[in-house]
Structure 1
């Protein structure tokens, strides 16, 4: 079947999403569903669900992996590679520019003022995105709703995404909706076993950066935000490449730039070793997630319509969306710390719910201006 779009169309879409897609992984996966499944109808609902499930089960940044998988759907390896590059490149260039300004001017005090407004608006954006994703993907299925609610609560309480619960949800739905004829030979895909590599002893700072960020991309599960604790332990505590303030500024850069949150590794790499450090940090982080997406993708495509696997994917998808909703609550708790931030988030959600055609970048610019005004004059 000939796709309804060209590879050039897909590359242009991901270039735009990487340039204007604010809100982190939760918002970005919502934008992809809204744009590619609902509006343009380039990607089928089942293909999207399979991509979301695979992105949740594999280590690495959620939004980038979903972009890579959606590129693979109709244009295979070339589509996956170019979609992934197009999605990541704009925000990488932005964090390079911010890194240059940060080093040149000795920190970015204005960043906190912008983040005060933008961070609050982002909560409203991702709340609406999560709401739309939930109602569209889960529908009226009671079992999936139970899984969604349980994962939302657990993610909010534990403040982390728990992989084995997502797998358990998939198995539960598989057993209920399409029980195997014999349990000794399950027909779902076995979880990938990752080879534990031994640390490489190297002298070069660039080799150290490459090894550290490869581990970050290969062994950290969940959304781009899940990588933050891992980065803190290595960058501030172990290697002492950054101090506390620099690390907090790096997280702020991740939140105020569009595209995948994890692209802040480019900013961090720049602070450690300039442009080569930025390039190596970004490459080392994204190559593992690329491989963990394109290698199993053909099997997801080939066997994804099997009743047992479809039920498993439905269960994992419901659990993943529950984890996303829980992450929205966690982010809200951390970001909405006073009355102005709460009002900005509520106003953003209300405007997007009422006026669906307003572009998110317009809201981001307004929120940034409000943040600067509040921090400067109040």
Structure 2
């Protein structure tokens, strides 16, 4: 009797409450998001078993885009169909988007004030420390041997010295992975262990390893139909800008860039952020490098995925291009959000059935391990790219190093690594540190 009760389908309104709440409390990056979802969905509510939860997570890690958001879409879809997945994905990003919009408006309005500069002088060193922590964390999991260290070094050199863009690095890494796996499989093969212990019971969970998930039956005709629907959704705002905007070339560049960005974010937010920073600052001149660092600081203060910083980039692009127009900045932010996160729904609703059939595919797992190793080198480049201007705001001369910034980078690294301080508290401390300097 008790088992029958626990296997009852969760009420849609209960799931909706959780997805809405998750959007406002999901601080701490991808790991924080996953822990919150696992604690509620698996441990507390037993809506999905641990084996199915981590299987869904592993599938999402193979996809471009923020894996935590895609995991929410996937589970919402499995629980309550397309409407469940759609609302789960929207609630995951909308709160952070609106918060970042408010912060961007404040930044654009008061960014030249001395007290605002002081706050960011404390936040910027902390951002460098946070990104360095990401290098360390991802590297510890991704670099399994000399080959992987070498691949990370090559990826770093390609970005730092040769200025090669992220899509080419990803494609090259995939090619290398397939070649190494074919000719030297002993260098690639790693002992694999299951993510979930065999002894864990699957009873009492609404979705478990024996449950047939939605999208199990793959049909090419349905795949083409759904892809066409997503294309229509993608092209509609594009056409509106074409007919209604007086500067279509700018919006065309913005839309195409962030669509391309969304398609090459394999490896999580830290994969795409160096690519966005490199092109939006150096090629498109949408914002300055200093403003880019400020954007990272603002994004760290909001819930949701760190990739939300691209919405700030869209705001500053519209704001700067249209001569300090807050309205155009807002349109830029909304446009960037739409085209960055739309592919996540496409990959889950359209590509979900395809991925279900790839369960346990060792080739995909090996390719992903190579891509993740390359990501370490790319994140290291981001650390140096942003950290250089924080430590040497007046040029790369040792006597011109910003000692206060160096002090707070060191202190932030100590707080994160030694005392495991929550990122939110580090941001608050950094703001206080900046105000104290002022």
Shift of 1:223: 1.6
Compared CA separation, residues 359 and 235, structure 1 to 2 (3 A): same
Matched, 1:313 2:357: no
Q: How does 1:1-378 map to 2 (within 5 A)?
A: 9=18, 12-17=21-26, 20-21=27-28, 28-29=29-30, 31-32=32-33, 48=57, 50-55=59-64, 65-76=66-77, 78=83, 81-101=86-106, 107-138=112-143, 140-158=144-162, 161-177=165-181, 201-204=242-245, 211-220=252-261, 221=264, 223-228=272-277, 230-231=279-280, 249=291, 252-257=294-299, 258=302, 259=306, 260-264=308-312, 265-266=314-315, 269=318, 272=325, 274=327, 277=331, 280-290=334-344, 293-294=347-348, 295-337=350-392, 338-356=402-420, 358-374=421-437, 376=438
Deviates more, 1:330-339 or 1:100-109: 100-109
Aligned to 1:58: none
**Equivalent residues of 1:214, 1:284 under 8 A apart:** no
Compared CA separation, residues 73 and 99, structure 1 to 2 (3 A): closer
**What is the CA deviation profile of residues 222-251 of structure 1, one whole-angstrom value per residue up to 9, with x for unaligned ones?**
5235334554589768xxxxxx78x96476
> What is the CA–CA distance in structure 2 between the aligned matches of 1:13 and 1:316, rounded to whole Å?
29
**What is the CA deviation profile of residues 123-166 of structure 1, one whole-angstrom value per residue up to 9, with x for unaligned ones?**
1122123212221244x344333322322343333456532332
> What is the CA–CA distance in structure 2 between the aligned matches of 1:153 and 1:37, rounded to whole Å?
38
**What is the CA deviation profile of residues 79-135 of structure 1, one whole-angstrom value per residue up to 9, with x for unaligned ones?**
653444334323322233234445666854433322211110111122123212221
> What is the CA–CA distance in structure 1 between the aligned matches of 2:293 and 2:252, rounded to whole Å?
21
In structure 1, stretches of 5+ residues that fail to align are 22-27, 56-61, 181-191, 238-243
> What is the CA–CA distance in structure 2 between the aligned matches of 1:47 and 1:142, rounded to whole Å?
30
> What is the CA–CA distance in structure 1 between the aligned matches of 2:247 and 2:87, rounded to whole Å?
26
Which of structures 1 and 2 has the bigger CA Rg?
2
In structure 2, stretches of 5+ residues that fail to align are 1-6, 44-49, 185-226, 265-270, 393-401
Q: Secondary structure at the match of 2:121?
A: helix
> What is the CA–CA distance in structure 2 between the aligned matches of 1:91 and 1:235, rounded to whole Å?
25
Deviates more, 1:335-344 or 1:159-168: 159-168
**Equivalent residues of 2:142, 2:148 under 8 A apart:** no
Q: Structure 1 length as normaliser, TM-score?
A: 0.69
**What is the CA deviation profile of residues 260-317 of structure 1, one whole-angstrom value per residue up to 9, with x for unaligned ones?**
2112024655753528625642444335443563343442343152122222222222
Compared CA separation, residues 360 and 304, structure 1 to 2 (3 A): same
**Equivalent residues of 1:126, 1:328 under 8 A apart:** yes
Point out which structure has higher relative CO (alpha carbons under 8 A, 6+ apart): 1
Q: Structure 2 length as normaliser, TM-score?
A: 0.61
Q: Secondary structure at the match of 2:243?
A: coil
> What is the CA–CA distance in structure 1 between the aligned matches of 2:293 and 2:344, rounded to whole Å?
23
Compared CA separation, residues 101 and 37, structure 1 to 2 (3 A): closer
Q: Secondary structure at the match of 1:305?
A: coil
**Equivalent residues of 2:124, 2:293 under 8 A apart:** no
Shift of 1:174: 3.4
> What is the CA–CA distance in structure 1 between the aligned matches of 2:292 and 2:178, rounded to whole Å?
41
Compared CA separation, residues 88 and 166, structure 1 to 2 (3 A): same
Q: Secondary structure at the match of 1:223?
A: helix
**Equivalent residues of 2:311, 2:334 under 8 A apart:** no
Q: Secondary structure at the match of 2:133?
A: helix
> What is the CA–CA distance in structure 2 between the aligned matches of 1:215 and 1:283, rounded to whole Å?
13
Deviates more, 1:260-269 or 1:171-180: 171-180
